Amino acid sequence: MRFAITGAAGMLGQDLEAAARAAGHDAIGFSRAALDITEAGAVADALRDARPDVVVNCAAWTNVDGAEEAEDAALAVNGAGAGNVARAAAACGAWTIHVSSDYVFDGAKRSPYLESDPVGPVSSYGRTKLAGERAVALEAPASHTIVRSSWLFGAGGPCFPATILRLAGERDELKVVDDQVGCPSFTGHLAVSLVDIAAARPVGIVHLAGAGSCSWYEFAREIVASAGVSCEVRPCSTAEMPRPATRPAYSVLRSERGEAVPSLPDWREGLAEYMTLIEEVRA
């Protein structure tokens, strides 16, 4: 297969390009600097010239808090931009894989969210990601897979583990919220599964996130322990550390689509691989 990847300079994009090539496929990566997905004409031209079999849209506005004050700008990327990619992919006969988010849910549920559960985003970011899902389904109705994942982390860019490791090296104590629960997903694992999705091509929405679940506090505690850093991690509530954007209190994702959706390893395995990668970089 020939992959075209938008947002290829990001954490997931980098890992996906590597995973596609490792599996014996051709891969063309478009960074944001090379291709702005809000420019419909440029997207159409780029994908027509690339002649891909599969287009994976990893490009996104990822600043959750920033979207609260700039929802129109976030919507241009996460909503209309996603539609531009799907329209251009369909025009050249390619399958679209669009990466979405657990933030399309309100977090009120206390059992894992399935693909058939009703959506109800509680933030500007979540609304823009939901708009992107709808745009993709509209522009490529019979040739798309929307992959919802969550709490992405990887060695190729800024992420929660990197932030925690930096802060733990600067402080004796950290406070991290323990009343938000989700599924940390290592981009190295997600990328491999996206290659599998490209081969299987299930139509519609699939949930694909790290196995298991934890709070941000539990995730941070595991990160610090894995690094062997002497920093105490203490739990606190979301109310004690307010942010501009509301986060879902519970956004564990699981799939009800059976064999159509590959499963990811446990988030702890992902963290172990992440720690190995960053140690190799530092060495």
Crossing angle for the helix pair 187-200 and 267-282, nearest 10 degrees? 120
E strand segments, the chain: 2-6, 26-30, 54-57, 95-101, 144-149, 152-153, 173-177, 181-182, 185-186, 204-207, 214-215, 232-236
Neighbouring residues of 136: CB distance < 8 A, sequence distance ≥ 6: 57, 82, 83, 85, 86, 96, 98, 144, 146
Q: Which one of 113, 125, 217, 274 is the catalytic residue?
A: 125
* CA atoms of 70 and 257, how far apart (whole Å): 35
Q: Is 125 a catalytic residue?
A: yes
Active site residues: 125
